[in-house]
């Protein structure tokens, strides 16, 4: 299952790769990383049907996570092809952001610091559905 | 009729003469005692008459004798008053007449024949003395009037002098009064000035604190991120260690995997240190920002300072308004090097300019009059060939109307709603750049298009 992580913090890559080292090694998940909303859109354009899940930070310079979410939802108006799931991650776990994210069609809303155990569980469930 | 009774006419003349002379010479004030004595001028006349009656002495000259006495008294009075110039003149006027009268009387008594013989001559002489008398009496009168006039004039002058000196005294009193008031006012003003200086310092400090308040959310965000990394990398390192231990227990150990885990562990520890330092540097920046100014210049990396405060300002605003987002472009000239500056002061200036820029683009976005508007704030640094260092903070926000452009550096001028701005940000920034760093702070703006602040510092 291909997952695109969008965050302006570059160390997120190292972190994800270590947190999910077993899953990556076993081939359960494949991670790609983008460091801005714009970069994520470019990546999605090139790898349209591969990405199953997008994990995006909200607070980024330039295009914010919410804008990215809107773009993604506009690009995939209705299935087929199956639109990717989008999970938003933010340091500001307030209700307005959550509601906004949900309104824009986010599939889930996580707050930083990310609870990796819970995330892993969610991803595993998604992966089993995928297969 | 008794010849001697003619003396009574003489007495009347004498009394009249006394009155005239008295008035003319102002005797009651000049010679009070003599004046009183003159009341009795008639006494010798009456006495003479009584005496002549007693001795049955009849003479045509009795009245003349008395008049001569009166004249003598007159001369005596005038002599006593000789210091008074009209009196002297009067003396001069009367003297020939009196001397002549005395001479004629003596002649009439001693040799009446001679008198008769030279009657014409005597009459001429008498007439001459009369003319002399009246002429000089007139001159004396004129002189007296003149003197009187002079006296009045002097009195007038004296009065004027007194008036002036009275006015002087009054003026001096007023001046003293005014001086006292002014001194008091100066004292009050000095006190007010001291109070104002204290207040100004307090305001500067509270402006710092206010901007720190704006920063809090940004700081929290900026600290939260590295802290999350610290936690995550620690956690994941613990997992890695467990995996490593498990691997070591296995009979068929994979040395490649173990090496990989060890490399990761080492890398994680570096990440933990890095993010720990990142958090620490933010805390340090915050402390520096709030600390009272010690004004010491230190070699400062402007690129790093600008980057730090740009993030703080951005996240500060983001924390307040979650919907807000802006494109930030930066170009940090790598040849900038370090310049001597009070970093916390420059930080405040930058923070202020960034906050303003974000405020302007946010406002334009909220107004919603520009379709497809992308709020953009750009920060550029440049090492000019002239050696100066330039920082440009540009936004494509609301811009500054021409009418207020001249006022933006004035203290307490703000366009923000009450409670949102102290109006000190730009004025303090201006002082910090111009007075504190010998630089310039300029603004280029177009209403509705955007604003650019340009800081120039000597390299």
Going along chain B from its start, the domains and CATH numbers come out as 3-165 (no CATH), 300-459 (3.30.565.10)
| Residue B261: CA count within 13 A, CB half-sphere | 21
Q: What is the ipTM of this complex?
A: 0.84
Task: Please check the confidence at residue A77 and state whether its pLDDT lies above 60.
Answer: no
* Contact (CB<8Å) B231/A62: no
The verdict on A112 touching B (C-beta cutoff 8 Å) is yes
| Percentage of the residues of chain B whose pLDDT score is greater than 70 | 93
Task: Please check the confidence at residue B3 and state whether its pLDDT lies above 80.
Answer: no
pLDDT tens-digit readout, B280-307: 887 877 776 666 566 788 888 899 889 8
Which tokens sit at B457? Answer: 């510092």
Total number of domains constituting chain A: 1
Which tokens sit at A6? Answer: 């969008």
**What pLDDT sits at residue B34?**
84
Residue B130 CB partners (closer than 8 Å, separation 6+): B97
**Can you tell me the distance from the alpha carbon of A55 to that of A34, in angstroms, rounded to the nearest whole number?**
10
Nearest chain A residue to B243 by CA: give it: A22
Task: Please check the confidence at residue B270 and state whether its pLDDT lies above 80.
Answer: yes
Task: Determine the average pLDDT of the residues in A42-69.
Answer: 84
State the residue range of the domain holding A113. Answer: 2-130
The verdict on A64 touching B (C-beta cutoff 8 Å) is yes
| Percentage of the residues of chain A whose pLDDT score is greater than 90 | 24
| Long-range contacts, B155-159 (Cβ 8 Å, 24+) | none
A96 DSSP 8-state letter: H
Nearest chain A residue to B275 by CA: give it: A11
Cα-Cα-Cα-Cα dihedral sign, residues B419, B421, B423, B429: positive
Query: B28 with B59: CB under 8 angstroms?
Result: no
CB environment B360-376: b (16+ within 10 A), e (fewer):
bbbebbeeeeeeeeebb
* Contact (CB<8Å) B225/A62: no
Which tokens sit at B123? Answer: 């009459």
Query: Between A14, A92, A116, which is nearest B267 by CB?
Result: A14
Task: Determine the average pLDDT of the residues in B176-195.
Answer: 94
* Contact (CB<8Å) A18/B264: yes
pLDDT tens-digit readout, B123-173: 888 888 888 888 888 888 888 888 889 989 999 999 999 999 999 999 999
Domain of A59, CATH number, reads: 3.40.50.2300
**Can you tell me the distance from the alpha carbon of B85 to that of B141, in angstroms, rounded to the nearest whole number?**
11
Query: Which residues from chain B sit within 8 angstroms of residue A66, using beta carbons?
Result: 323, 325
Query: B349 with B379: CB under 8 angstroms?
Result: no
Residue A31 CB partners (closer than 8 Å, separation 6+): A2, A3, A4, A5, A13, A16, A17, A20, A24
Task: Determine the average pLDDT of the residues in B320-343.
Answer: 84
pLDDT tens-digit readout, B102-131: 888 888 878 777 777 888 888 888 888 888
| Percentage of the residues of chain B whose pLDDT score is greater than 90 | 26
B110 DSSP 8-state letter: H
Chain B residue set in contact with A, beta carbons under 8 Å? 221, 224-225, 227-229, 231-233, 235-236, 239-240, 264, 267-268, 271, 275, 314-315, 318-319, 322-323, 325-328
């Amino acid at each position: 299952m291909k997952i695109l992580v969008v965050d302006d913090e570059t160390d997120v890559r190292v972190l994800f790769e270590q947190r999910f080292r077993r899953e990556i090694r076993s081939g359960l998940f494949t991670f790609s990383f983008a460091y801005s909303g714009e970069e994520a859109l470019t990546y999605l354009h090139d790898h349209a049907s591969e990405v199953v899940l997008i994990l995006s930070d909200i607070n980024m310079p330039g295009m914010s996570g919410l804008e990215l979410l809107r773009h993604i939802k506009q690009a995939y108006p209705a299935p087929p092809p199956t639109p990717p799931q989008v999970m938003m991650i933010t340091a500001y776990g307030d209700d307005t952001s959550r509601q906004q994210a949900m309104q824009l069609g986010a599939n889930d809303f996580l707050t930083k610091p990310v609870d990796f155990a819970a995330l892993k569980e969610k991803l595993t469930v998604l992966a089993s559905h995928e297969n | 009729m008794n010849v001697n009774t003619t003396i009574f006419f003489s007495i009347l003349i004498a009394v009249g003469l006394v009155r005239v002379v008295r008035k003319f010479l102002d005797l009651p004030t000049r010679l009070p005692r003599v004046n009183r004595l003159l009341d009795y001028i008639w006494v010798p006349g009456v006495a003479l008459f009584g005496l002549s009656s007693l001795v049955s002495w009849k003479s045509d000259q009795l009245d003349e004798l008395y008049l001569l006495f009166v004249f003598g008294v007159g001369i005596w009075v005038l002599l006593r008053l000789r210091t008074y110039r009209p009196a002297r003149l009067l003396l001069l006027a009367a003297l020939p007449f009196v001397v002549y009268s005395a001479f004629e009387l003596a002649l009439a008594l001693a040799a009446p024949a001679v008198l008769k013989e030279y009657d014409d001559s005597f009459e001429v002489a008498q007439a001459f003395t009369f003319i002399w008398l009246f002429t000089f009496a007139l001159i004396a009168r004129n002189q007296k009037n003149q003197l009187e006039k002079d006296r009045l004039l002097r009195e007038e002058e004296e009065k004027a002098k007194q008036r002036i000196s009275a006015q002087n005294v009054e003026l001096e009193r007023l001046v003293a009064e005014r001086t006292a008031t002014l001194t008091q006012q100066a004292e009050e003003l000095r006190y007010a000035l001291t109070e104002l200086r204290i207040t100004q310092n307090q305001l500067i400090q509270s402006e710092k604190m206010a901007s720190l308040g704006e920063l809090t959310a940004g700081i929290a965000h900026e600290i939260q991120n590295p802290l999350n990394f610290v936690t995550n990398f620690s956690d994941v390192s613990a997992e890695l260690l467990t995996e490593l231990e498990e691997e070591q227990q296995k009979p068929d150990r994979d040395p490649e995997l173990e090496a990989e885990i060890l490399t990761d562990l080492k890398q994680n520890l570096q990440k933990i240190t890095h993010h720990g330092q990142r958090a620490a540097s933010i805390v340090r920046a915050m402390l520096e920002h709030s600390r009272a100014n010690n004004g010491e210049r230190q070699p400062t990396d402007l690129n790093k300072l600008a980057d730090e405060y740009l993030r703080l300002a951005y996240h500060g605003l983001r924390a307040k308004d979650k919907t807000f987002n802006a494109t930030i472009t930066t170009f940090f000239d790598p040849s900038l090097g370090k310049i001597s500056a009070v970093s916390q002061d420059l930080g405040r200036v930058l923070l202020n300019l960034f906050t303003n820029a974000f405020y302007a683009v946010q406002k334009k976005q909220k107004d919603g009059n520009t379709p497809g508007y992308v709020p953009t704030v750009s920060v550029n640094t440049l090492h000019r060939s002239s050696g100066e260092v330039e920082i440009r903070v540009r936004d494509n926000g609301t811009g500054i109307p021409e009418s207020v452009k001249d006022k933006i550096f004035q203290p307490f001028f703000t366009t923000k709603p009450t409670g949102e701005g102290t109006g000190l940000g730009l004025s303090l920034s201006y002082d910090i750049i111009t007075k504190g760093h010998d630089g310039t702070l300029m603004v280029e703006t177009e209403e509705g298009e955007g604003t650019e602040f340009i800081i120039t510092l000597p390299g």
